[in-house]
Amino acid sequence: MQLWLIPLLPLAGAAINGLTGRRTSKTVQSMVAIGSVLLSFLWVVKTLMALMPLEERYVEHYFTWMASGALNVGVDFAVDRLTAVMLCVVTGIGTLIHIYATGYMHDEDGYYRFFAYLNLFMFFMLILVLGGNFLLLFVGWEGVGLCSYLLIGFYFLKKSASDAGKKAFIVNRVGDFGFSLAMFLIVITFGSLDFPTVFAKAQELPVEHSAGIVTAICLLLLVGATGKSAQIPLYVWLPDAMEGPTPVSALIHAATMVTAGVYMCSRSAALFMKAPIAMDTVAIVGLATAVMAATIGLVQNDIKKVYAYSTVSQLGYMFLAVGLGAFSAGIYHVVTHAFFKALLFLGAGSVIHACHHEQDMRHMGGLRKKIPHTFNVLLIAALAIAGFPFMSGWYSKEEILGAAHHHHMWMYWAAWVTAGMTAFYVFRSIFLTFFGEYKGHAHPHESPWVMIGPLYVLAILSVVGGYFFNIPHILEPVFHGIVPEGHMEHSLADMILGTSPGIIGIFLAYIVYVAKPGMADSIKDSFSGVYNVLLNKYFVDEAYDATIIHPIERTSRNFLWKVVDAGIIDNGFVHGFSGAAYNFGGMLRHLQGGLVRNYAAWTVVGVVFILGALTVMGGGR
């Protein structure tokens, strides 16, 4: 099936634009960037059609990467139904975002560089998804981290953007260290990194009701996932990542990279099902992240920051599902979230484009008549994420709420409240942006059709995607024999209760920001303390600065630099040895006075010394 063509095509696009972009037109650069991803998508479709119904895992082995004793790691690409779902999301949504980006980035400097980075990201994300073992998955995992750094810091002359890129890179390295340790433990425990071998051996192990080696592996994998998928405590990089161009937010921070942690945990379901402690930890971390990020999203004024915290919260929903053993529901939300969250970010980009780079919603308002197409699609995306009945997000949220209801009622009610907050803050952004009077200074204008077209495609998917892509049914063969079989029945009462928080959230947002617009200020004044805590994001960044960043900086500056580097290495070793050599050379310099009689005298002394030494040595014999 030549699976290698799927990632190779975007890599070729990255190479062509990266090497020749300075000498080609933007039209050529756009055709290369879009064409490479579109061809990859079409090859995915062709491959999946040939492999249907894909009841079994299909593998292509290319060569042995490393062999050491019993450990043998190959460069293998594999496709099962989970891989197929992720391939369609990555290449399909990626193609739409590339098309949109040609309009959004048209007047930016470094146009070819942007698309080279974007294509390179696609290459690594596809390696991550196609990898047939943990090590190849990790290659893609690290690659998307690199590309995220490059794309977030694309405006590298802007300090906030370069800082955000470095923050994302460093925080993810913390998580990746946990992933690395997990792989070492997997090799020690199972003697392999290949998915089928590891998972088959894991199936033979008993469930660990107390902490054991499998629990340790799963918790370390979770550490890696909290970095890549922005969960507590490593979520802090994602909101700052909004410093990158908006298409980057849509592709990397909505549809692909940030869902890699959910994919990796779902791929490792056979391990997690043997470690209930790890499963509970995943669920609690996910739910805590969902609630915390939702509360922060309630008060943000930057339209992209609202959707950034929404992403963190929705990822928490996905981890809640994974922790409850509802892996299919988690992936279901990955797919529907890719539709409506990419639409929200790209729609926000259209608003920012219309308002001449204004991002503060307090300087917007009344835009629904000025940019009606953008309003239409953003309204659809907002309804989908709010869980409005029969929109795509409704289907996947019902599955997650159903899983929570089945396992832990307190988790259900926490997720229920979070769903209400989600609907409230998303519609707050809609009402502040599109209703009331325009408060800005620029003259808003609708985006070009190269940007609007992909938005309407995503809008259609946000409406019908949840119905036509029944992910739990599609993924049944993947988790068969791993997750206990059982179908959760959703009664009419359950569906009404699950839908109600979204409806309530929308209604409250309408009351506060449209019907009684002065109410928002009254609430803010009445709860100023809580408001300031939420506006400052619980002061988590400040706490990290005080407890981690600044101590490391002070230690590096005052001890590692001034004491170790300057004092011991420079003055002690480097300057000390060079000074000793200089002084010794200075003494020898006096031997070279330029007088022949002195040289003759030293020669005589040397001959006498050598003869004396030979005499002593001869006497010893």
DSSP 456-505: HHHHHHHHHHHHH--HHHHTHHHHBTTBPP------HHHHHHHHHHHHHH
Q: Which amino acid is at 341?
A: K
| DSSP-derived secondary structure for 86-138 | HHHHHHHHHHHHHHHHHHHTTT-TTHHHHHHHHHHHHHHHHHHHHBSBHHHHH
Above 60 in pLDDT, residue 621? no
- 68's enclosing H/E stretch is strand 58-68
Query: What dihedral do alpha carbons 547, 550, 552, 556 form, nearest 10°?
Result: -160
DSSP type of residue 388: -
Task: Look at 456 and 487; give whichever has higher pLDDT.
Answer: 456
Above 80 in pLDDT, residue 254? no
Helices (H), 243-302: 246-250, 260-267, 269-272, 276-297
Above 60 in pLDDT, residue 227? yes
Burial code of 13-42, b = ≥16 C-beta within 10 A, e = fewer? Answer: bbbbbbeebeeeebeebbebbbbbbbbbbe
Q: Give the N- to C-terminal CA distance of the chain in Å, as an integer.
A: 84
Above 80 in pLDDT, residue 297? yes
How many angstroms separate the most distant Cα atoms in the chain? 116
> Which residues lie below 8 Å from residue 402, measured CB to CB, with a gap of 6+?
326, 329, 488, 490, 494, 498
C-alpha pair distances (Å), 78 with each of 66, 192, 195, 499: 18, 16, 10, 38
- What is the distance between the alpha carbons of residues 146 and 172, in angstroms, rounded to a whole number? 10
Above 70 in pLDDT, residue 619? no
Over residues 401-429, mean pLDDT: 94
- Is the Cβ–Cβ distance between 330 and 242 less than 8 Å? no
Over residues 12-35, mean pLDDT: 95
Count the Cβ atoms, other than its own, within 10 Å of residue 70.
8
Predicted confidence band at 479 (pLDDT cuts at 50, 70, 90)? Answer: very high
Q: Which tokens go with 227?
A: 């970095």
Q: Phi and psi dihedrals of 53, rounded to 5?
A: -85, 5
Above 80 in pLDDT, residue 596? no
Above 60 in pLDDT, residue 620? no
Over residues 253-271, mean pLDDT: 91
Task: Look at 592 and 570; give whichever has higher pLDDT.
Answer: 570
Predicted confidence band at 591 (pLDDT cuts at 50, 70, 90)? Answer: low
Residue where the block lists tokens 């009945």: 389
In this prediction, residue 488 carries a pLDDT of: 62
Over residues 196-204, mean pLDDT: 95
Q: In the chain, what percentage of residues exceed pLDDT 90?
A: 77
**Mean pLDDT score of the chain:** 92
**Lowest-pLDDT range of 174-188, 287-301, 509-523:** 509-523
C-alpha pair distances (Å), 179 with each of 134, 182, 221, 346: 10, 5, 5, 32
- How many residues does this entry show for the chain? 621
In this prediction, residue 207 carries a pLDDT of: 92
- What is the distance between the alpha carbons of residues 420 and 447, in angstroms, rounded to a whole number? 31
- What is the distance between the alpha carbons of residues 419 and 406, in angstroms, rounded to a whole number? 17
Burial code of 457-481, b = ≥16 C-beta within 10 A, e = fewer? Answer: bbbebbbebbeebebbebbeebbee
Above 60 in pLDDT, residue 128? yes
- What is the distance between the alpha carbons of residues 33 and 38, in angstroms, rounded to a whole number? 9
Q: In the chain, what percentage of residues exceed pLDDT 70?
A: 98
Predicted confidence band at 17 (pLDDT cuts at 50, 70, 90)? Answer: very high
Count the Cβ atoms, other than its own, within 10 Å of residue 363.
15
DSSP type of residue 438: -
Q: Which tokens go with 521?
A: 């200020």
pTM: 0.90
Over residues 95-101, mean pLDDT: 96
In this prediction, residue 356 carries a pLDDT of: 86
